[in-house]
Structure 1
Amino acid sequence: MKLRVLGCSGGIGGRDQRTTALLVDDDVLIDAGTGVGDLEFEELVRIDHIFVTHAHLDHIAMIPLLVDTVGEARSMPIVVHATAETLRILRSHIFNWLVWPDFSSIPDRHNPFLCFQEMRVDEVAKLGRGRFMKALPALHTVPAVAYQLSGEGGSLVFSGDTAYSEPLIAAINEIPDLRYLLVETAFPDALHDLALASRHLCPSLLALFLERIKSNPEVWITHLKPSRARTTLEEIAGYCGRFSPKALYNGLELTL
């Protein structure tokens, strides 16, 4: 099983700045930010599942365009998995016939291009081929989850957008085969108060978070704000510890 980074930036600007989207093999997305737009049509058609961490635009922007682009070329609907709160936001504010058509009723409700599947924290979705996706607790300004992706080669955790979260740390510490931890750090320490208010991590909060992790996964940093990325990474590197976090980048492939 392979996970390919399509987008991991906290903003846009230039070819390297795409918002959050991770492609699992060729048929599963974790979030669907602007990075999805770099896929070819033939790749888009193969996407069967989208697991959404939360409803903010940088994580869901390409869902409406993806469904509109490939709906008629597929024999089955694309399934969007998310918490009940996130699905309610998508239905009410995106697929509402005002911002975008409701593709869960196009061409009709019995044969839609899109369907929604509620996913609760701790629930596990079976994806076939020995792949599993589990929702983990996260803490953000809107209802949010992290995801644990598991296969024969171990597990990966993607934090999504989150503040320091004891429940998320506890969930991570229960994973015996954790190989990769993809964790957000949006702001430098100079914007510590903004990080707290917007429920994101900054380097000092990331250090506290990582100190509580009992295993030794590879740590990759995501959701860096483009204008502050270099400073944020320098501050992360300055914290002592057993981890040496690296910046996630578009095109990176991780294998499980």
Structure 2
Amino acid sequence: MRLRVLGCSGGIGGTLRTTSMLLDEDILIDAGTGVGDLSLEELKKIDHVFVTHSHLDHVAFIPFLVDTVGWMRAEPVTVHATCETLEILKEHLFNWKVWPDFTCIPDPDVPYMRYERLYVGETVSLSGRKITPLPANHVVPAVGFHLEGDSGSLVFSGDTTTNDALWEAVNRIDNLRYLIIETAFGDRERELAIVSKHLCPSLLREELSKISLKVKPEVYITHFKPGEADSIMKEIEAVVDGICVRRLENDQVFEF
């Protein structure tokens, strides 16, 4: 597998893009504003979108993707999400008020887009690539993802706060090479992080201490609030010991 980071910020401005990652050439993991930097030819190749949760910074470019390339494709784009997230997308986004319902355009029998339900812990296999939804703890129903390739695995936490169930799943992955995990706030906003169900450096330290794997994964931090990435990383480096922690960057590539 080859995962390319299209966006990893908690907001926009300048070169900042919200959460989206391209797996190989045909799968999106979330569809934030980073999708807009893909070429038309790259957009046409996307067959699947796996959604962690319904917040706009993670789904904003699904409508633009389908609207742009739907008519160019022989098959619909498949949006994979939990039942709760699919219901939110149907009711609040693809509802003919905010955006057309592409599951019945141009015809319900031959639509531009279709939905596929995900279940936590149940693996989806696409041409030998394994994608498993993991538990997340956020203010709306949410998941993370375990991506398993030929030479290792990568876990993306999605938006989450403290979450023992995630680490129970992570600690069962014996070939985990990379962990991408959010830290949206600095410690001065710890209470806001708790209320909004995100992480801050002190909470991150507590979560990473739950990893019991003999070989620790490389950890990459995502979802910083704009303008605070440098200060949050300094806080993380000051409190996290015994594990390699780096900042996730746009256009970073992971192969596994």
Same fold (TM over 0.5): yes
Query: Please, what TM-score do these two structures have when normalized by structure 1?
Result: 0.98
Measure the CA separation in 2 of the matches of 1:10 and 1:101.
27
Give unpaired runs (5+ residues) of structure 2: none
Could you say which residue in structure 2 is the equivalent of 1:238?
Answer: 238
Superposition map of 1:188-207 within 5 A = 188-207=186-205
Measure the CA separation in 2 of the matches of 1:2 and 1:117.
23
Deviations 1:147-167 (A, max 9, x none): 000011111000010001000
Is the contact between residue 237 and residue 244 of structure 1 (CA under 8 Å) also seen in structure 2?
no
Could you say which residue in structure 1 is the equivalent of 2:61?
Answer: 62
Could you say which residue in structure 2 is the equivalent of 1:83?
Answer: 82
151, 166, 169: which one aligns with 2:167: 169
Instruction: Find the residue that maps to 1:147 and give its secondary structure.
Output: strand
139, 161, 164: which one aligns with 1:141: 139
Measure the CA separation in 2 of the matches of 1:157 and 1:244.
15
Measure the CA separation in 2 of the matches of 1:160 and 1:24.
15
Query: Please, what TM-score do these two structures have when normalized by structure 2?
Result: 0.98
Measure the CA separation in 2 of the matches of 1:137 and 1:36.
25
Specify the code of the residue in structure 2 equivalent to 1:115.
Answer: R
Specify the code of the residue in structure 1 equivalent to 2:61.
Answer: M
Structure 1 residue 252 displacement after superposition: 0.3
Instruction: Find the residue that maps to 1:190 and give its secondary structure.
Output: helix
Could you say which residue in structure 2 is the equivalent of 1:41?
Answer: 40
Specify the code of the residue in structure 1 equivalent to 2:219.
Answer: V
Q: Number of paired residues? A: 254
Deviations 1:159-206 (A, max 9, x none): 010001000111111111100000000000000000000000000000
Superposition map of 1:56-135 within 5 A = 56-128=55-127, 130-135=128-133
Measure the CA separation in 1 of the matches of 2:184 and 2:130.
28
Measure the CA separation in 2 of the matches of 1:144 and 1:209.
17
Measure the CA separation in 2 of the matches of 1:240 and 1:112.
48
Measure the CA separation in 1 of the matches of 2:240 and 2:182.
18
Specify the code of the residue in structure 2 equivalent to 1:241.
Answer: D
Structure 1 residue 37 displacement after superposition: 0.1
Measure the CA separation in 1 of the matches of 2:67 and 2:226.
30
Give unpaired runs (5+ residues) of structure 1: none
**RMSD (Å), alpha carbons:** 0.6
Superposition map of 1:4-43 within 5 A = 4-15=4-15, 17-43=16-42
Instruction: Find the residue that maps to 1:44 and give its secondary structure.
Output: helix
Could you say which residue in structure 2 is the equivalent of 1:212?
Answer: 210
Measure the CA separation in 1 of the matches of 2:38 and 2:230.
27
- The percent identity for this pair of structures is 55
Q: Which runs of 4+ in 1 moved over 2 A?
A: none
Measure the CA separation in 1 of the matches of 2:249 and 2:239.
21
Is the contact between residue 7 and residue 18 of structure 1 (CA under 8 Å) also seen in structure 2?
yes
Deviations 1:28-82 (A, max 9, x none): 0000000000000000000000000000000000000000000010000000000
Structure 1 residue 227 displacement after superposition: 2.1
Could you say which residue in structure 1 is the equivalent of 2:252?
Answer: 252
Could you say which residue in structure 2 is the equivalent of 1:227?
Answer: 227
Measure the CA separation in 2 of the matches of 1:85 and 1:254.
30
